Chain A
């Protein structure tokens, strides 16, 4: 679907009204996952494996069953059998079968009359484990002799002869990279690593579930995709998605981590067994041990450059650690790596590797930030050694409309050059670099996504509108939906109420992922409003006794389209709505589609950092985000996405990492030891919204949520490397790593 003429004159779009859920959220009224209770509810708790890899020889729940307040216990035996492929993997992750595959893997769950009683009962469950050898490092896991997580898990296309832990492979490219390297004046080749990080949403996973003997279930939970929760629960409980109505609560952050399903099937199984509502809330330590994290990576990059800055060839090999299940985002890593550059010769390949860690989950542009870190570090080093300006070099090689992408497509209209030009012109780039400091620049790329979407828009007799969307609002998207609907209909922002409809109320909607909500639900909202307008015009035409084609809609009024149509007083939406009962009944617009025109998005970040060479600590001084939003619907929330992505990137670059002991157990499963950036760690984060309209959206919108985390790892690494005078090749650049690098330099 191409919208040749993106709408340009707006009344509301681009303004900054207060969000419709704002008052609820500043007064404590908003109900998040753990905020709901049901009469007679039980509280559940999950027993988790203390071992990284172990056979589960037996589980004895008899003592726990007799404990005070305990009403029911479930193990794997209480879930569906005969599942295959992805649904088997999901069940295996939700509740272990024959083996515990990582520290924190669920083994059994208890429902009791209080949370304390449930936790007490966990201690009475006896599990006979036979501990097995484990592996948590990606490079170790690929080696001969590494413990096998699971035989036969490799997907199609995985090269033969590799270790069974290698379960996915991707490769692409074009040209002749060896010839390209031969043409270069300077070739740099190096290896980079990043550690697993957690999405770090402040709200732990939480749900409230009921399920009767008739097999009909209800779930209230914090999720990025409640339709997906229904689907997964249906499979795992041996019923149908349609039998389980899921309502998305307010969601306290997701960043990709709440696209997965962990606890809802367990709560449903307990509810079914006890015939009582069951509330299940993860602790923070469970969130770290058994949800998220992102993949870790080990990457080899080789790039050739001429003295004038022309990049002659690029090659990347990426090894992504995805935990105890297939699904690491290696394909995305490889595709994003060289995306900012129009290379004649490029090749990339990626390996998806299993280890004894929790299953990796999406984290904001999954796979892309680590690729940018590796590639953009080498680009920076080439610029340094050849004495070239990093933005000029990027401009010289930048992907642009019509050029061939590193992964094969021909680029449509994209905004990388505009972002680079804006970066070059930004005052930040021309200020002096602080003494003892360094400046880093990086590009970043993300695809963005459309996906299955359904929207319904109903008029009330008072002329207000109820808009139902099926994509959980993870960052203020209801404000954007209200704005787009009001813009089309020509009514006030405050006259639209946007609701996230439950799974029994609206057609199927894909998860809120892929930066798709403002794009896809926004597009569907606009189209549903246009569908409503047709119906409004029809009512006016009937009233005036003219053909409906002779009526058009402008600024909230039906109007006759010209002198030939006749002279009639324009009729407002409110007036048509007030009479709709007598003129044909309810007026409801709707739209269902799988839009495929999500415009890709590029960003450029500039950062100044100072490194204390005595302590190895880094402070981020000035930070500027420049990103193509296509069209910013609500600029405050676009800026918020830019700033949030940058802040998460700062954490990933400098501090955050999953630390495993030799016993394969996670050693820092809490916010004290897994330290995310706090207010005193960060500077203000300046933003520049570039708007190169996406032809796939009626207003030109491109998704903005994910691209903002693609450049920061590299931009900060470049700043730190330039400040410290030594190339940092492993993230996070925590003080011990910086001191080690300085020592070795």
Chain B
């Protein structure tokens, strides 16, 4: 077992894990942060997207041990208190989710997109989110929600 000290959504966190456990396993099974989902375990679906030091990664492809000393961001850390982040609100306003299993990963990826590219084109959004599979929506309402959130966040900035 390995002892790891890390920061998750701003909180210093310690855990022990098997060397084979992924960051996703640790988040879900050891820390009860089940917002990140395992859709494939092979980095193909993006449902487990989290940020590690600000970069979006598939947490199923990162070992738990690699979290040592890093800043991890998950869907649970996107809202501020009871206030939803604009992208969360826009996903509700646009009905941009049906089943909602891909939503946490897409929100994590979208937040990172808009921090880096506050005024993305539709094509940019589509390619940024190409690693996040959604089987329900056909992406139409997701893209609209992201574009609308970007617009609101720009005018609020």
State the A residues within 8 Å of B (CB). Answer: 16, 18-19, 21-23, 25-32, 34-35, 37, 114-116, 199-204, 250-255, 281, 283-284, 474-476, 634, 636-637, 639-640, 643-644, 646-648, 670-672, 676-682, 684-685
Contact = CB atoms under 8 A, between A and B. Distances in A.
Given A23-B84, A255-B135, A682-B139, A116 B20 contact: yes
A116 B21 contact: yes
Interface string B53-97: 000000000000000000000111011000010001001111101
B134 A31 contact: no
Given A116-B21, A680-B129, 15 more contacts: A19-B92, A22-B97, A25-B97, A26-B88, A28-B35, A34-B28, A115-B25, A199-B135, A202-B102, A250-B99, A252-B100, A253-B99, A640-B141, A648-B135, A682-B140
Contacts of B125: 679
A26 B126 CA distance: 20
A676 B131 contact: no
Contacts of A29: 35
B143 A684 contact: yes
22 contacts: A18-B93, A26-B91, A27-B88, A28-B104, A34-B37, A114-B18, A202-B47, A202-B102, A202-B134, A204-B38, A250-B101, A252-B101, A252-B102, A253-B136, A284-B45, A634-B95, A637-B95, A644-B137, A672-B44, A677-B138, A677-B139, A682-B140
Given A18-B92, A680-B130, A26 B42 contact: no
A464 B145 CA distance: 31
Nearest to A476: B98
B98 A637 contact: yes
A282 B78 CA distance: 29
Contacts of B99: 201-203, 250-254, 474-475
B137 A671 contact: no
A639 B38 CA distance: 27
Contacts of A201: 99, 101, 135
B75 A27 contact: yes
Given A25-B97, A26-B97, A643 B138 contact: yes
Contacts of B18: 114, 116
B121 to A, nearest CB: 12
Given A27-B75, A28-B76, A679-B129, A647 B141 contact: no
Nearest to B76: A28
A396 B100 CA distance: 42
A599 B42 CA distance: 42
User: Which 6 A-B pairs give the minimum distances between C-beta atoms?
Assistant: A28-B35, A252-B101, A647-B138, A636-B95, A25-B100, A671-B44
Interface in B95-145: 95, 97-104, 107, 123, 125-127, 129-143
Contacts of B16: none
A311 B29 CA distance: 61
A23 B130 contact: no
A284 B37 contact: no
B120 to A, nearest CB: 12
B136 A27 contact: no
Contacts of B84: 23, 26-27
Given A19-B95, A284-B41, A28 B34 contact: yes
Nearest to B129: A679
A178 B26 CA distance: 67
Nearest to B44: A671
Nearest to A641: B98
Given A670-B42, A672-B44, A643 B140 contact: yes
Given A26-B88, A284-B40, A32 B101 contact: yes
B39 A284 contact: yes
B133 A202 contact: yes
Contact of A26 (B98, B107, B136, B143): B107
B33 interface: yes
A200 to B, nearest CB: 5
Contacts of A679: 125-127, 129-130, 132, 134, 139, 142-143
Contacts of B20: 116
A284 B42 contact: yes
Contacts of B91: 22, 26
Contacts of A671: 39-40, 42, 44-45, 133
Contacts of A672: 42, 44
Given A26-B88, A253-B101, A685-B140, A670 B40 contact: yes
Contacts of B44: 284, 670-672
A628 B92 CA distance: 25
A199 B135 CA distance: 8
A253 B134 CA distance: 9
Given A26-B91, A255-B135, A671-B133, A203 B98 contact: no
Given A18-B93, A23-B84, A250 B100 contact: yes
Given A28-B34, A202-B135, A680 B127 contact: yes
A32 B37 contact: yes
B91 to A, nearest CB: 5
Given A27-B76, A680-B126, A202 B42 contact: no
A648 B103 CA distance: 18
A476 B126 CA distance: 24
A113 to B, nearest CB: 12
A28 B74 contact: yes
Given A21-B100, A252-B100, A28 B137 contact: no
Nearest to B122: A684
A22 B102 contact: no
Contacts of B102: 202, 252
Nearest to A636: B95
Contacts of B47: 202
A202 B125 CA distance: 20
Given A26-B107, A680-B130, A643 B100 contact: no
Contacts of B107: 26
Contact of A35 (B34, B75, B140): B34
Contacts of A115: 25, 29
A639 B136 CA distance: 11
- Which of A251, A634, A643 has the largest number of chain B CB atoms within 10 A? A643
Contacts of B100: 21, 25-26, 30, 250, 252
Contacts of B132: 678-679
Most chain A beta carbons < 10 A, residue from B45, B78, B88:
B45
Contacts of A640: 95, 98, 136-137, 141
**Which of A27, A29, A639 has the largest count of B CB atoms less than 10 A from its CB?**
A27
Contacts of A637: 95, 98
- Among A202, A636, A639, A671, residue most surrounded by chain B Cβ atoms (within 10 Å): A202
B67 to A, nearest CB: 18
A46 to B, nearest CB: 15
A200 B126 CA distance: 20
B138 A678 contact: no
Contacts of A25: 97, 100, 103
Interface in B5-53: 18, 20-21, 25, 28-29, 32-42, 44-45, 47
A679 B135 CA distance: 10
A391 B95 CA distance: 32
A257 to B, nearest CB: 10
Contacts of B133: 202, 671, 676, 678
A685 B126 CA distance: 14
A644 B136 contact: yes
Nearest to A254: B99
A636 B101 CA distance: 18
